[in-house]
């Protein structure tokens, strides 16, 4: 089994490739754990009207309600989340995944898709593909809630790049406890610093 450092290095190598400069060094700061995906009483059918939501975001620019539909019906390899984003907000910063592809299906409302530094209007009925290493963000630019499903592959390791803030997030579900770390790409520490 590969160590956490080896998995992170492979993900960084895969993500950075020739499109991005690989960070010279990485400072890993622990900002918490990812919620577990296990559910003992999973169903096979659920209705979106019965979804219960967790409120997330910083309240300023980022705010959304989120319901784990995939885990509610017992899926392990395929993720599905229902999002409700209020007017003028977005769920996430502009970001790109190293190992996760996402398909977004807009159910209600209108907004703006920012993908690969191009903005375009989106509305209910649109289906959006966000491929690996392609930066994307959905912004509710309307005066009504924006409601959408995001369906994605669940991968044990993912590295996420945030181009606007030059951050890297590394997530691992490989070890006994899930790990989530975030750092700036420009962090100037040596690999052996503090060893």
Question: Of 91 and 1, which is predicted with more confidence?
Answer: 91
Given pLDDT bands bounded at 50, 70 and 90, which one contains residue 12?
low
Task: Identify the DSSP state of 36.
Answer: P
Q: Which helix (H) or strand (E) holds 59?
A: none
Considering only 23-32, 73-82, 99-108, 130-139, which range has the smallest mean pLDDT?
A: 23-32
| Predicted TM-score (pTM) of this structure | 0.73
**Alpha-carbon torsion (41, 42, 48, 54), positive or negative:** positive
Question: Across-strand partners of 106?
Answer: 148
Considering only 19-28, 102-111, 143-152, which range has the smallest mean pLDDT?
A: 19-28
In this model, does residue 107 exceed pLDDT 60? yes
The fold adopted by the segment(s) 38-153 is Jelly Rolls (2.60.120)
The CA distance from 26 to 21, in Å, is 13
Task: Identify the DSSP state of 49.
Answer: G
Q: What is the mean pLDDT of the chain?
A: 82
Looking at residues 31-44, what average pLDDT do you find? 47
Q: 161-176 b/e with 16+ CB inside 10 Å = b?
A: bbeeeebbbbbbbeee
In this model, does residue 100 exceed pLDDT 80? yes
Tokens representing residue 55 in the block: 């409120």
- In the prediction, which pLDDT does 102 show? 98
In this model, does residue 108 exceed pLDDT 50? yes
pLDDT tens by residue, 129-171 = 999 999 999 999 999 999 999 999 999 999 999 999 989 999 9
Per-domain boundaries in the chain: 1-37+155-190, 38-153
The CA distance from 27 to 166, in Å, is 13
In this model, does residue 67 exceed pLDDT 70? yes
In this model, does residue 195 exceed pLDDT 50? yes
């Amino acid at each position: 089994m590969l160590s956490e450092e080896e998995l992170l290095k492979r993900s960084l190598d895969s993500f950075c490739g020739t499109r991005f400069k690989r960070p010279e060094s990485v400072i890993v700061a622990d900002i918490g754990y990812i919620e577990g995906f296990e559910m003992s009483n999973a169903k096979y059918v659920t209705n979106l009207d019965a979804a219960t939501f967790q409120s997330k975001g910083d309240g300023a620019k980022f705010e959304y309600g989120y319901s784990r539909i995939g885990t509610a019906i017992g899926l392990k390899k395929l993720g599905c989340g229902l999002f409700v984003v209020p007017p003028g907000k977005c769920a996430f910063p502009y970001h790109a995944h190293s190992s996760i592809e996402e398909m977004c299906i807009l159910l209600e409302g209108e907004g703006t898709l920012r993908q690969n530094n191009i903005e375009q209007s989106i509305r209910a009925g649109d289906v959006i593909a966000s491929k690996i290493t392609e930066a994307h963000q959905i912004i509710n630019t309307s005066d009504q809630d924006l409601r959408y499903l995001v369906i994605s592959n669940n991968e044990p390791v993912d590295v996420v790049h945030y181009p606007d803030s030059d951050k890297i997030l590394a997530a691992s579900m490989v070890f006994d406890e899930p790990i989530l770390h975030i750092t700036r790409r420009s962090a100037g520490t040596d690999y052996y610093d503090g060893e």
